[in-house]
Amino acid sequence: MSEQPRLVVLASGRGSNFQAILNAIKQQRLAATLGAMISDRAGAGALELAANQDVDTVCIEPRHFSGRDDYEKALMTAIDGFAPHWVVLAGFMRVLGANLVHHYLGRMINIHPSLLPRHRGLNTHRRVLEAGESDHGASVHFVTPALDSGPVIAQVRMRVAEDDTADTLADRLLPLEHRLYPATLALLLDHRVELRDEDICIDDQTIAAPLRLGRDLDDDGRLVRPGER
Ligand code: GAR
């Protein structure tokens, strides 16, 4: 049997997206192995979740380094120690420098709680409400040097209700993120998606817009053909 692709997940917080990915692996919806959970915060819930489920953990805190370059060198060494095929950012709340991003270009992905290119950065739920938007969602994208700007592979959408607050939006979006991330990873592990410059190609065809979960992509990462939608 050929070796399964290995993921290294980076997270700064509670780790619910990490858990969703791990669940998908355990339930054999995702044909991958988890190399490690790496965090930049010693108190991150994600580290505890991983350790409790026998996933290797590494914590590298920026405060122990003289600057960003040194920190990212150590981070890269730690990641490369697990020889991952994919580096998966799941709530890793640091802006990464160009050297590190280039090192993993085309095999590092991130989930962001907005319909990119809308609302890069923080406080996306509040900003959706302030802008009076009627829909919201999450995006999985390739990581490129500019913050939250890499080509978007797939999105999940939801309607904004009149009585939504930033908290209810976040609460309603999270379970959708937990479906979107494993589904997008399953598609990527099928070797059909490729980052070419700023374009995403699927089966050698550039896609004009991100795939939408439930319309173009099912929860197992299978592409839904137009006639079957
Ligand atoms: C998720 O909502 C994710 O989309 C967001 O952080 C949260 C992590 O939650 N990521 C970003 O904002 C990245 N810019 P989790 O730790 O429970 O997975």
Q: What is the DSSP letter of 97?
A: P
Nearest alpha carbon, ligand 1 atom 6: 91
Domain count, the chain: 1
pLDDT string in tens for the chain (229-residue length):
568 999 999 999 999 999 999 999 999 999 999 999 999 999 999 999 999 999 999 999 999 999 999 999 999 999 999 999 999 999 999 999 999 999 999 999 999 999 999 999 999 999 999 999 999 999 999 999 888 889 999 999 999 999 999 999 999 999 999 999 999 999 999 998 999 988 999 999 999 999 999 999 999 999 997 655 5
Q: Domain containing 126 — which CATH number? A: 3.40.50.170
Domain for residue 63, yes or no?
yes
- Active site residue ranges: 112
State the residue range of the domain holding 67. Answer: 6-228
| pTM of the predicted protein model | 0.97
Contact of 11 with 44, CB cutoff 8 Å: yes
Q: What is the DSSP letter of 65?
A: S
| Top mutation candidate among 9, 16, 141 for ligand 1, by most atoms within 8 Å of CB | 16
Domain for residue 80, yes or no?
yes
Pocket of ligand 1 (CB under 6 A): 11, 13-17, 90-91, 111-113, 138, 148, 177
| Top mutation candidate among 92, 111, 142 for ligand 1, by most atoms within 8 Å of CB | 111
Nearest alpha carbon, ligand 1 atom 10: 91
Nearest alpha carbon, ligand 1 atom 8: 91
pLDDT of residue 2: 60
Instruction: Give kind and range of the element (H or E) at residue 108.
Output: strand 108-112
pLDDT in tens, 153-198: 999 999 999 999 999 999 999 999 999 999 999 999 999 899 998 8
Contact of 138 with 175, CB cutoff 8 Å: no
Domain for residue 1, yes or no?
no
Domain for residue 147, yes or no?
yes
